[in-house]
A and B are shown apart, each in its own frame.
Chain A
Amino acid sequence: MIGTRILPATVVGLILLFLAFPILVVIVVSFSSATYLTFPPPAFGLKWYDAYFSSADWLRPTWLSLWVAGAVVVMATLLGTLAALGIARLPRAARVVAAGLVLSPLIVPGIVVAIGIYYAFARYGLVGSPVGLIIAHTCLAVPFVVTSVSASLAGIDPRLEQAALSLGATPRGTFFQVTLPLIRPGVLVGALFAFITSFDELIVALFISGSGAVTLPRRMWDDLRFQIDPTIAAVSTLTIVLTVALMWGAHLLRKRAERQVTKEA
């Protein structure tokens, strides 16, 4: 009996190790005191974080990535939330077409999107500019906002909106006082996803960031062509902490929203 439990548990444990170990190694290496990549590190220190925070070559792309992602959050959340509200009420045929278009960046291979955007943006003069990145990343981030807001909308009891309207609320008032508060968690989750999508995006950035708008992933990519020194491990660890914190926040928001829905039902 014990044997039939320990064997599967060991197998699952090893697979989970395979999943988590590479990430943990990067985090450990980032605290190494060695001047080259070695594991386990001979001693620990903050040398590589120091190297990162004192280098304008690293900080400039970091700030660019942060503010591009911030702008993408504003654009994608606004456009995506409005569209999700509209798409939910479209007749079926129109809804399928609109949803298909909006969600297609999830399926179209990244390289196809990237070179298409590069091809056109070169003509619009949008290569090497943060504006081009913001526009392109908004297209890639919007599917996450639309799916997240649509899921929230689908969970709303239609009687709540009907009740507000029948009690004399204007459609406008109903939207701001009933619908919007109910979909807020979905909007926030979508916004977090939009931020991370832009912040981590590399393929489009490889083609359109040129030399004028180098993002953090692009800077890491360029660096990796020549060396794999532990500065990248430090940068990676910082981005892991940032994205995991944001995703965990999104996860908690979604859980809370689900619990609210089940309580109401």
Chain B
Amino acid sequence: MTPYLLAAPLIAFMIAFYVLPVVAMLMRSVSDPSWTLQHYAALPDDVVFLKTFANTFYTSLIVTLASLLLGYPVALALVRAPRWALVILVLIMLPFWTSVLVRSYAWMVLLGRHGLFNEALIAAGMIDRPLRILNTPLATQIAMSHILLPYMILPIANALRQIDPSLLRAASGLGSPPWRTFLQVTLPLSMPGVAAGVLLVFVLALGFYITPAMVGGPREITISMLIAQRVDQLDWAYAATLSAVLLATALAIIGAFYRLPGVGNAFRMNAR
């Protein structure tokens, strides 16, 4: 009986202040004004929803790809260059431990009209007038890739660390050039880490709100931003419907890939 008693206070607390609130809110999608599925039925013809949903998926896809391309080499260096491991780890963790708000602000400083990036390009004589980067989809993609990159690096590094070094020695001993050892030994064996990183980054990216709201374009909004807008207009039925769709999408993606090796662990250990 004791294990149940120990877990009960927290479970009760979370049901009262987290599960029931979220469920009550989601119920508005089927109970407003009376029991109905009309809010879901209207979605396939809802241009704003379709555009926003497509944009959110597209942004998440770009961010996931960028994080994978940028994250894999860093993970490899972290594991294969032990002398530099501490420096690399500090450079990864410094942004990782900084809040999303501060990191998004940093990109406002860098990408603004008179930001560092524009000033540097003008000083170098490469452009005459500042480029418009802040408040465009590109700014969202850059800032989100920056924020989510550690979520890609850490699971991949984990997988790389578990590769038996004697396999690599065997490959090179048998005359395989480094690039072939990488393609035929390292890369396939690191796939569980890649799968975990890709899934984690993609699902987290789907729910992003603060960063696109701060640095993104006014027209290319994400699902989370659309939900917040509708709550501000007190349109709870619509906000709840979109929330249900966003939540179901995230859970469906996780559910579909949860059984892949490495994926479950990444979600358990992953944090901010």
Contacts and interface: CB of A to CB of B under 8 A. Distances in A.
Question: Are A and B co-members of a single complex?
Answer: yes
B95 A79 contact: no
Interface string B191-231: 00000000000010011011000100000000010011001
B171 interface: no
A110 B207 contact: yes
B112 A112 contact: no
A139 interface: yes
Interface in B1-54: 2-11, 13-15, 17-26, 28
A22 B106 contact: yes
Contact of A119 (B21, B115, B178, B270): B21
B271 A25 contact: no
Interface stretch (A11-19, A51-59, A66-74, A158-166): A11-19
B9 A82 contact: yes
Contact of B94 (A23, A108, A203): A23
B226 to A, nearest CB: 9
A263 interface: no
Contacts of A120: 17, 20-21, 24-25
B101 A217 contact: yes
A243 B227 contact: no
- State the majority secondary structure of interface residues on B: helix
Contact of B24 (A38, A39, A119, A203): A119
The list of the 3 closest CB pairs from A to B, nearest first, reads: A109-B207, A86-B6, A120-B21
21 contacts: A19-B150, A25-B109, A37-B109, A39-B119, A82-B6, A90-B3, A101-B11, A101-B19, A105-B18, A106-B270, A107-B254, A111-B209, A115-B239, A115-B243, A119-B21, A200-B99, A207-B231, A224-B214, A228-B108, A228-B109, A251-B93
Interface of B: 2-11, 13-15, 17-26, 28, 70, 73-74, 77, 88, 91-95, 97-103, 105-110, 112, 114-116, 119, 146, 149-150, 178, 203, 206-207, 209-210, 214, 224, 227-228, 231, 236, 239, 243, 246-247, 250-251, 254, 267-272
Interface of A: 4, 8-9, 11-12, 15-16, 18-20, 22-23, 25-26, 29, 37-39, 79-80, 82-83, 85-90, 94, 98, 101-103, 105-113, 115-121, 135-136, 138-139, 142, 144, 146-147, 193, 196-197, 200, 202-203, 206-207, 217, 220-221, 224, 228, 232-233, 236, 239-240, 243-244, 247, 251
